[in-house]
Amino acid sequence: MPHHTPLIGTIVAGLVVAFVMGAIAHRLKLSPLVGYLMAGIIVGPFTPGFVADAGLANELAEIGVILLMFGVGLHFSLRDLLSVKNIAVPGAIGQITVATLMGMGLAYYMGWPVMGGLVFGLALSVASTVVLLRALQGANLVETRRGRIAVGWLIVEDLVMVLALVLLPALAGVMNNADAAGGAGSLLAPLLGTLLKVAGFVALMLIVGRRVIPWALHWVVHSGSRELFRLAVLAIALGVAFGAAVAFDVSFALGAFFAGMILGETPLSRRATEETLPLRDAFAVLFFVSVGMLFNPSVLVEQPLPLLATVAIIIVGKSIAAFAIVRAFGHPGDTALTIAASLAQIGEFSFILASLGTGLGVLPAEGRDLILAGAIVSIFLNPLIFSLIVRSNRREEAEKPPEQPRMGHVILVGYGRVGKLIGQRLAERKAHFVVMETDPDRAEEAEEAGLSVVRGSALEDRHLIAAGIREARRMLIAVPEGFEGGAIHEHARHLNPDLQVIARAHSDAEVAHLEGLGVPHVVMGERELAARMLALCGAG
Ligand code: AMP
């Protein structure tokens, strides 16, 4: 058996245990994140059995952060970013200030030095990119106005932390030799240096990157090689993020976001998203595993009250601050609630700050333990809080009167390449039908075409019910994945056993699967294409 393969061991143990725990969480109807965190605790050093390498797990998690932020950048334009600056900049800075002061208060009470309190407070004030994005993606909110505000807010937080990481060592030095001359001056130089580097990076991306990256990608597309395209997308995402961190000292997340944003301006962004999805999901899972690995359960016994106070600052204190700020800027209550809930957690930046603080000798070890435990607890509770809030918003939406009673209608699942053509024909025939679509852009397109649309996945009963599944006569499943189509069929027939389903497939295995499930009509794209091409050939 090979012995010195810690990297392979960490990836394999992380993914395998996360899969098992994620599957258990799914069965128990819990958020899969809870399963991944548990997996981390299992492979972590504080529980018996196999121990994965925490340092490697952290690095792997960074790849998850890079790919997630790249994906967000793909759907974000510079205009989106600027359109939310009026709320994101004061909001993030205000919330960081409030949370830091609360953290410093707790630290003062615990008798830690002021610098220790500052690091502790800052660590409690920044939300985790991965947790926030997973929550927004899960609720289909990334491309809504509130989603954009939350992402803009996150980017401002990210910038503030980049500055904090540079300034803290200098500040600690000044505090240690308070009487040495030029205290403020020694802070000014690193501050200016960092600002210049961030500005340099942004300028380079907007001036050079904006030309070179789309050009390179177009060239690859014309080469016709799918493999090269996939490689190019990964090279751009990882290369820009890493280059930005090495050359400009900005975070990986920020670098990746800009790389994505530039690619997002080209028509290739949808394909680029598809190419990075599987890797992104796998590495995001490793992020949660790596967080779980840090959890030392003894904090629960040794410091229950300080831990409670820490969690209260993260979940209650920060939320109230964010809610108040968003409301004060005149945004509606549901926007304020979504933003408050999505930021009520801490993650990767907090760990970096904690280790910097202990490294500088200003943060006591118990402070670091509280930050880690606070992160675990808040990440654990976040999906719960988030789904409660989103559900209560949905309830308000559900109270709106239905547009028209539905009876004997058709449900069209998916408004993509195939669904759109079906929808157009059905509309021409004045058929009575409802579109179900998960992708916000495509849902909007359907709405603009005047169709009745349910935004959400046909895999979830509540969305099916919103589309009037019980009264529907037919369902056309126009999603490209036959196996997903099979699962949609199962859900739909469970709610309406008389429903007549027509499904789409792209392989013999999918056709067999769907027919095995009892779908009466399965249309296979490739067979129809072949038949049509043959017919044309005969005609010519
Ligand atoms: P295309 O492959 O271009 O025909 O697009 C398929 C469309 O189906 C995409 O726009 C997807 O967002 C959509 N879609 C995929 N799965 C689901 C689902 N479970 N519920 C609703 N829409 C879906």
Contact of 410 with 426, CB cutoff 8 Å: yes
Write down the CATH superfamily of domain 400-539: NAD(P)-binding Rossmann-like Domain (3.40.50.720)
Please state, for a pLDDT cut of 70, what percent of the chain lies above it: 95
CB atoms within 10 A of CB 173: 14
Say if residue 398's pLDDT is above 60: no
Give 184's pLDDT tier (boundaries 50, 70, 90). Answer: low
| pLDDT score of 245 | 92
| CA 361 to centroid of chain Cα atoms | 34
Q: Which helix (H) or strand (E) holds 496?
A: none
* The token pair that represents 320 in the structure block: 């109230």
Tens of pLDDT along 322-369? 999 999 999 998 899 999 999 999 988 898 888 889 888 999 989 988
Looking up tokens 């793909």, which residue turns up? 74
- Nearest atom in ligand 1 to 459's CA: 19
Measured distance CA(250)–CA(69) in Å, rounded = 14
| Stronger pLDDT, 24 or 136, i.e. the higher one | 24
- Give dist(CA 121, CA 135) in Å, integer: 24
Domain with CATH 1.20.1530.20 in the chain: 6-397
With a 6 Å cutoff on the Cβ, whether 438 touches ligand 1 is yes
Domain with CATH 3.40.50.720 in the chain: 400-539
Token representation of residue 148: 């954009």
The number of helices, as runs of H, and strands, as runs of E, in the chain is 25, 6
Whether residue 400 is predicted with pLDDT greater than 50 in this model: the reply is no
Q: Cα(138) to centroid of ligand 1, in Å?
A: 15
Q: How far apart are CA 129 and CA 91, in angstroms?
A: 17
Task: Give the Å distance between the CA of 479 and the centre of ligand 1.
Answer: 5
Probe residue for ligand 1, chosen from 422, 439, 451, 479 as the CB with the greatest number of ligand atoms within 8 Å: 479
Q: How many CA atoms lie within 13 A of 419 on its CB side?
A: 28
- 0.85 surpassed by pTM: no
Determine whether the shortest distance from the Cβ of 80 to ligand 1 is under 6 A. Answer: no
For 404-419, give the DSSP string: S---S-EEEE--SHHH
Measured by CA distance, the residue closest to atom 13 of ligand 1 is 414
* Pocket lining: 458 vs ligand 1, CB cutoff 6 Å: yes
* Higher-pLDDT residue of 73, 242: 242
User: Is 140 a pocket residue for ligand 1 (Cβ < 6 Å)?
Assistant: no
The CATH code belonging to domain 6-397 is 1.20.1530.20
Two tokens, residue 395: 């309830």
**Which residue is closest in CA terms to ligand 1's atom 1?**
416
Residue 49: exposed, middle, or buried by beta-carbon count in 10 A (0-12, 13-18, 19+)?
Answer: exposed
The verdict on the CB of residue 457 being under 6 Å from ligand 1 is yes
Percent of the chain at pLDDT > 90 equals 57
Q: In the structure encoding, which two tokens stand for residue 345, read together?
A: 């957690």
Q: Where are the alpha helices (DSSP H) in 75-144?
A: 78-83, 85-110, 114-125, 129-138
For position 539, what pLDDT does the model report? 62
Q: Is the pLDDT of residue 139 over 70?
A: yes
User: Which helix (DSSP H) or strand (DSSP E) does residue 297 occupy?
Assistant: none
Lowest mean pLDDT among 95-109, 255-269, 516-530: 255-269
Span 197-226, pLDDT tens digits: 989 999 999 999 999 999 999 899 888 888
Ligand 1 atom closest to Cα of residue 419: 4
Average pLDDT over residues 298-308: 91
pLDDT level of residue 401 (50, 70, 90 thresholds): very low
What pLDDT sits at residue 399?
A: 44
Look over the chain and give the mean of its residue pLDDT values, rounded to a whole number: 89
Indicate whether 448 pLDDT > 60: yes
